[in-house]
Amino acid sequence: MAEHHSGRPRRRQIDEPRLIAFDALRAVNADGAYANLVTADLTAGLYPRDAGFVIELVHGTCRLQGSYDTIIEAAAGRPLSSLQSAVVDVLRLACHQLFRMRVPQHAAVASSVDLAGVAISERVTGLVNAVVRKLSAKTFDQWCDLLSDDLSPRAELALRYGHPLWIVDALADALGDDDELVSLLKADNEPPVPMLVVRPGLAKRRELMTDGARRARWSLWGVERPGNPGELPAIRQGRAGVQDEGSQLVIQAATAVTPRPAGPWLDMCAGPGGKSALLRGLCPSLLVAAEPQAHRAELVARALRAYPGGYQVIIADGREPAWAAGSMALTLADVPCTGLGALRRRPESRWRREPEQVGELARLQRELLDQAIASTMTGGIVAYVTCSPHRAETVEVVARASGVEVLDAPALLPEVPRAASRLDDRFIQLWPHIHGTDAMFCALLRRTGDTAGE
């Protein structure tokens, strides 16, 4: 006798990690949240294995989201704008499970349909089922092969490696070598191992050398250590912090310049405070840390909290200095930028930036550099730093500076191979695929005379 069915749909269930991943991705795409912050918050109570699953699913989906969107449109046969945004996020998560995670095909399909039914509505499950099955019929590479017939070589790379085309073009220009481009794009999609930094005078590296930790390759203060940094007393106490080795190296170079006059140091764009905390441990005089946004100034103060004194945190815009002109012996201008050098650490950022923003930021960067030079005494040092290799934010900004001598910055990091910018070998340009760091740019300038900022 056949089993009787009521005709009612079964009560759907979805595992907690996938539901959390959906909530996190919705927060990123609907509310503008940052993937690393929202996943850290939502996974706080999970078992490590489940937390790792959520982080990889959300961060990986964010990195490749533009490519997944192109594939979803092809599989659905309709533009994404015709679908509910929540449905699109379910399909994006399905893509990452199918294409980049070791999730069996049947599990990825079934869990995506259940997620749609639980988190959105039973009415959308038929659509989700149909599209996910269509997605699962090909591998990621097969989809890219299908969709790249009419694309230029760089547009195909943009699709295969999950970068907007304008960013691919900018990175290729800064590299000056298309043969290296694939290595860089791949590196942007690999999450970095946490890099820690000891604050000079407050901690020693040996305190952090536990559980598989190893010294940074070149930084005098860095330790690469997997796991949760918050477990370490030195981190909790503010005697050490989390900071990419590239950020440590630009400070290492800037503070190695000699001769340098005596006097206070200035971190002109100090938030969130990691570089300020490193500078304070090296500064023989007073460190002034300026930040225009109050909430970020609070982060700077927190980063400096373990030091007994010798610093001043002020809320001030570097374009309107709250300090006397020509009063600083060393000025760090770590200016706001597109962040194209930190794509591996900020999974969603590549899809939030637009090429039109580059010109706006470059104008701000020029104004800040002019004021940084004007703030520095004759003979003093200005370090112009960006976390972007884009030509318009780096060499073109420095080229317009006046009243300065350009120093040989790579010479101050002699142990670091291939540290010179391909665009101008007087500047430092680090790379994820070469150095395992963010793509940090650093120009070191010595003030020689009057500037446009005075």
**Token pair 């009243």 in the structure block, residue:** 403
Are 222 and 261 contained in the same domain?
Answer: no
The answer to the question of residue 367 being in a domain is yes
Q: Any known ligand binding at 317?
A: yes
Q: How far apart are CA 25 and CA 263, in angstroms?
A: 48
* pLDDT at 4 > cutoff 60: no
Are 230 and 287 contained in the same domain?
Answer: no
User: How high is the pLDDT of residue 179?
Assistant: 87
Are 342 and 424 contained in the same domain?
Answer: yes
Are 43 and 136 contained in the same domain?
Answer: yes
User: How high is the pLDDT of residue 228?
Assistant: 87
Q: How far apart are CA 171 and CA 281, in angstroms?
A: 34
The answer to the question of residue 27 being in a domain is yes
Contact 333, 382 (CB under 8 A): yes
User: How high is the pLDDT of residue 452?
Assistant: 57
The answer to the question of residue 166 being in a domain is no
Tens-digit pLDDT profile for residues 138-166: 999 999 999 999 999 999 999 999 999 99
Question: Does a cis peptide bond (omega within 30 degrees of 0) precede residue 321?
Answer: no
Are 378 and 412 contained in the same domain?
Answer: yes
Are 288 and 339 contained in the same domain?
Answer: yes
The answer to the question of residue 4 being in a domain is no
Tens-digit pLDDT profile for residues 274-306: 999 999 999 999 999 999 999 999 999 999 999
* pLDDT at 87 > cutoff 70: yes
The answer to the question of residue 9 being in a domain is no
Are 206 and 280 contained in the same domain?
Answer: no
Q: Which residue has the higher pLDDT, 84 or 13?
A: 84
Q: Any known ligand binding at 271?
A: yes
Query: What string of DSSP letters covers 238-285?
Result: TSEEE--HHHHHHHHHHTT-SS--SS-EEETT-TT-HHHHHHHHH-SS
Contact 199, 207 (CB under 8 A): no
What percent of the chain clears pLDDT 90, i.e. is strictly above it? 93
Domain boundary among 227, 242, 257: 242
Mention every residue, 6+ apart, whose C-beta is less than 8 A from residue 404.
373, 382, 445, 446, 447, 448, 451
The answer to the question of residue 355 being in a domain is yes
Q: What is the CATH number of the domain that holds 349?
A: 3.40.50.150
Which one is catalytic: 95, 283, 337, 387? 387
Grade residue 14 by pLDDT with cuts at 50, 70 and 90: confident
The answer to the question of residue 118 being in a domain is yes
User: How high is the pLDDT of residue 1?
Assistant: 33
| Domain coverage including residue 224 | 192-242
* pLDDT at 227 > cutoff 90: no
Are 233 and 369 contained in the same domain?
Answer: no
The answer to the question of residue 258 being in a domain is yes
Q: What is the CATH number of the domain that holds 85?
A: 1.10.940.10
Q: Any known ligand binding at 188?
A: no
The encoded tokens of residue 67 equal 């490519």
Are 250 and 367 contained in the same domain?
Answer: yes
Tens-digit pLDDT profile for residues 355-375: 999 999 999 999 999 999 999
Q: Which residues of 130-140 are buried (b: 16+ CB within 10 A; e: fewer)?
A: ebbeebbebeb
Q: Any known ligand binding at 246?
A: no
Are 127 and 38 contained in the same domain?
Answer: yes
User: How high is the pLDDT of residue 212?
Assistant: 87
Are 232 and 129 contained in the same domain?
Answer: no
Question: Does a cis peptide bond (omega within 30 degrees of 0) precede residue 259?
Answer: yes
User: How high is the pLDDT of residue 449?
Assistant: 79
Q: Give the mean pLDDT of 80-105.
A: 97
Q: Give the mean pLDDT of 160-174.
A: 98
Q: Give the mean pLDDT of 51-72.
A: 98
Are 102 and 227 contained in the same domain?
Answer: no
Q: Any known ligand binding at 7?
A: no
State how many domains the chain has.
3
Q: Any known ligand binding at 270?
A: yes
Grade residue 453 by pLDDT with cuts at 50, 70 and 90: low
Q: How far is CA 307 from CA 162, 195, 233, 249, in A?
A: 42, 21, 16, 21
Q: Any known ligand binding at 291?
A: yes
Task: Clarify whether 387 is annotated catalytic.
Answer: yes
Domain boundary among 200, 225, 242: 242
User: How high is the pLDDT of residue 421?
Assistant: 98
User: How high is the pLDDT of residue 6?
Assistant: 40
Domain boundary among 145, 178, 211: 145
Residue (of 245, 246, 313) closest to 277 by Cα position: 313
